[in-house]
């Protein structure tokens, strides 16, 4: 006998690990990455009454000066731990605030080196938390914060005081040297919070895209959360001929290939001792002639044993990556009903707008996945995979083809210009590869879905995910021609970027009209509700307004590219910033209707959090902008609540 929808909802909720009302202990709300809170003070009926409760400024904009600050991106996701709201600045200053007032309580400054060389950027997207259940609350480092830095150190500090944990590493810090000398200062960094699984802390790394074919190893490293001793590491590039993935790198193996790093959020199932890694591309990102073959375990979802680092299973989402389609969104761990039984699954969203769902323990697809033929290229020396995996369900979040009918413009003139440009470029199905002619890459490498990741509502079984829906042009250029091309406008396109160790440079630019608008039909950013159990889309709405690009600031919701993610509350409200228009928004989870918005003081490209303090529900978001994209810069932490 099948369970009714009501009973299913009750079972899902009963086994669900929602965040405690007065804490937000993990960047994703919980270690499963659901970004869900049991708080319900704010509802669709009263969300329009939200007001700014307090605002705090970190002072980094003034402290660093224009030149250094311009090289940073403020995308921090705060935590609420041990009675403190924890904020991390792009320069690895960690700050403890009063959650109810925003008053500063303590500051820890890692005093990082300020000599990073471009294209590296300063960033701290969050810190991790671990609670020592074997000690009392009064003991030092009972609650500790763990984080890597821009200059390759790994800290543990007390969440109550901000003081270093003396028993961790060397007085609270562990050095994390790269596997080989850096090409430039900042080629390898630690920008995302590590993941904690029981008494093990696991940290990934960010490695510069397209710099060289033999970039540093993207190894994931694990340490004892108590004393900082090294426990294990996992390299997504197989170094031994005994590894079954070794032959997927060509007859000579991977050689000196690098990257395959985990730069985004990991997900954790502590009960099963499993940690899930969204592994990125091998190097360089846009040319694979130096690494013929599928290149496993890169561009793969990899499940490891948290205590030992042993690989349990993996699934390669993308064969032989040459599009910079890293696995950026955090894996989502939930239980879904099937034939009256609750199945533990892991959901992997992608930059391509595809959604893969697997049985969490075995890696078997929850919905069928098909290998389908994809476009082939003709670049001398390149190797192309004849097929790529496509999930049968859920449907893609965005359109996977590009035709002349998809071109758009404010007028017939700019629409015609877009069609003319399209006719000169390779285009068509997704996975059209970069070419010497120039290829339309849709979606662009910012997504589809990006590192902000999804949120999941246990009551409705809906996954909420935001996507960007613009295109770019990728063109491979010989090194001789690249030296002659110095054109750039800073964002839409730049001079070709040399991929050292290959015969080519890569030239990327957004596919826009002469007026700067995306050539494809809007919306250019969207928010989607996916019924995960059925593999269907419930609703899809535009996310973002072009009001700041218009002569008169009319909120025209054509959607905007976005970076950051949503959260969901038990009150039935979705909160998300993320868009380039500076607006913070609330949506009704049942319908996708926009219920509320407020203009933030700077562009906000991160994820909010929510918690309760003194009986009042707060929603907090960090606004600082992004030095690599057009944005309004700042150093703000803003807290919203209903009138007191």
Flag whether pLDDT at 3 surpasses 80. no
Torsion over CA of 385, 391, 395 and 398, rounded to 10 degrees?
-30
Structural domain harbouring 416: 5-641
Flag whether pLDDT at 7 surpasses 50. no
Q: What is the mean pLDDT of residues 393-397?
A: 98
In angstroms, the CA 467 to CA 452 distance is 10
Q: Whole-prediction pTM value?
A: 0.95
DSSP letter, residue 246: G
In angstroms, the CA 50 to CA 246 distance is 55
pLDDT at 400: 97
Three-state SS string over 520-586 comes to ECCCCEEEEEEECCCCEEEEEEECCCCHHHCCCCCCCCCCCCECCCCEEECCCEEEECCECCCEEEE
Cα angle 369, 28, 527; round to 5: 60
Alpha carbon distances (Å) from 514 to 307, 418, 496: 54, 8, 21
Residue 142: band (very low, low, confident or very high) from pLDDT cuts 50, 70, 90: very high
pLDDT at 490: 47
- Indicate the number of domains in the chain: 1
Identify the CATH number of the domain in which residue 400 sits: 2.140.10.10
Strand partners, 259: 217, 282
On whether the CB atoms of residues 188 and 152 are closer than 8 A, the answer is yes
Residue range 248-288, pLDDT digits in tens: 999 989 999 999 999 999 999 999 999 999 999 999 999 99
Return the beta strands (E) in 210-327 as ranges: 220-224, 230-234, 267-269, 274-278, 300-305, 311-316
Q: And the tokens for 370?
A: 């098909």
Q: Which of 74, 214, 285, 324 is catalytic?
A: 324
3-state SS class at 493: strand
Residue 7 backbone dihedrals phi, psi, to 5 degrees? -65, -40
In angstroms, the CA 31 to CA 195 distance is 8
3-state SS class at 355: strand
Residue range 581-626, pLDDT digits in tens: 999 999 999 999 999 999 999 999 999 999 999 999 999 999 999 9
Q: Is position 324 annotated as part of the catalytic site?
A: yes
In angstroms, the CA 294 to CA 319 distance is 5
User: Which H or E element spans position 12?
Assistant: helix 5-14
Return the beta strands (E) in 190-260 as ranges: 195-197, 200-203, 206-207, 220-224, 230-234
């Amino acid at each position: 006998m099948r369970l009714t929808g009501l009973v299913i909802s009750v079972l899902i909720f009963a086994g669900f690990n929602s965040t405690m009302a007065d804490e937000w202990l993990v960047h994703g709300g919980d270690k499963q990455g659901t970004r869900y809170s049991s708080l319900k003070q704010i509802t669709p009926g009263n969300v329009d009454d939200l007001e700014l409760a307090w605002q705090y400024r970190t002072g980094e904009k003034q402290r660093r000066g224009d030149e250094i600050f311009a090289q940073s991106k403020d995308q921090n996701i705060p935590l609420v731990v041990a009675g403190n709201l924890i904020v991390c600045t792009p320069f690895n200053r960690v700050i403890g605030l009063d959650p109810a007032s925003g008053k500063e309580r303590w500051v820890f400054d890692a005093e990082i080196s300020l000599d990073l060389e471009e294209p590296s950027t300063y960033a701290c997207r969050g810190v991790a938390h671990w609670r020592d259940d074997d000690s009392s609350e009064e003991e030092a480092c009972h609650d500790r914060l763990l984080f890597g830095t821009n200059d390759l150190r790994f800290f543990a500090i007390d969440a109550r005081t901000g003081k270093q944990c003396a028993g961790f590493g060397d007085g609270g810090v562990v050095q994390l040297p790269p596997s080989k000398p850096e090409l430039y200062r900042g080629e390898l960094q630690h920008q995302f919070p590590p993941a904690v699984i029981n008494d093990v802390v696991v940290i990934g790394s960010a490695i510069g895209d397209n710099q060289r074919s033999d970039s540093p190893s993207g190894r994931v490293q694990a340490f004892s959360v108590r004393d900082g001793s090294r426990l294990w590491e996992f390299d997504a590039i197989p170094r031994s001929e005994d590894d079954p993935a070794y032959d997927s790198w060509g007859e000579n193996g991977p050689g000196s290939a690098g990257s395959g790093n985990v730069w985004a959020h990991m997900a954790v199932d502590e009960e099963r001792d499993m940690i899930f890694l969204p592994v990125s591309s091998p190097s360089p990102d846009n040319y694979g002639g130096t690494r013929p073959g599928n290149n496993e375990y890169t561009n793969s979802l990899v499940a490891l044993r948290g205590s030992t680092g042993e690989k349990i299973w993996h699934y390669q989402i993308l064969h032989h990556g040459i599009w910079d389609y890293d696995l950026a969104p955090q894996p989502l761990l939930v239980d879904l009903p099937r034939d009256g039984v609750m199945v533990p699954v892991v959901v992997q969203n992608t930059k391509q707008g595809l959604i893969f769902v697997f049985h969490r323990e075995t890696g078997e697809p929850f919905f069928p996945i098909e290998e389908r033929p994809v476009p082939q290229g003709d670049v001398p020396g390149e190797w192309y995979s004849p097929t790529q995996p496509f999930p049968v369900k859920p449907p893609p979040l965005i359109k996977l083809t590009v035709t002349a009918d998809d071109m758009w413009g404010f007028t017939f003139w700019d629409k015609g210009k877009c069609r003319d440009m399209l006719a000169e470029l390779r285009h068509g199905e997704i996975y059209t590869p970069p070419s010497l002619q120039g290829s339309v890459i849709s979606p662009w490498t910012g997504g589809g879905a990006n590192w902000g990741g999804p949120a999941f509502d246990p009551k409705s079984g809906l996954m909420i995910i935001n996507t960007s829906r613009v295109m770019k042009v990728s063109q491979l250029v010989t090194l001789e021609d690249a030296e002659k091309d110095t054109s750039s406008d800073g964002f839409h396109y730049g001079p070709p970027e040399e991929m050292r160790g290959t015969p080519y440079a890569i030239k990327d630019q957004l596919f826009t009209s002469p007026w700067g608008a995306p050539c494809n039909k809007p919306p250019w950013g969207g928010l989607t509700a996916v019924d995960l159990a059925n593999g269907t889309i419930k609703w899809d709405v535009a996310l973002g307004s072009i009001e700041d690009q218009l002569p008169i600031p009319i909120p025209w919701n054509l959607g905007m590219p976005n970076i950051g993610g949503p959260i969901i509350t038990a009150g039935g409200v979705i909160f998300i910033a993320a868009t380039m228009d500076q607006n913070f928004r609330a949506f009704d989870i049942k319908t996708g209707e926009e219920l509320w918005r407020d203009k933030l003081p700077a562009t906000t490209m991160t994820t909010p959090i929510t918690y309760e303090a003194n009986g009042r529900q707060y929603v907090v978001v960090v606004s600082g902008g992004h030095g690599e994209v057009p944005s309004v810069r700042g150093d703000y932490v803003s807290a919203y609540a209903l009138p007191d």
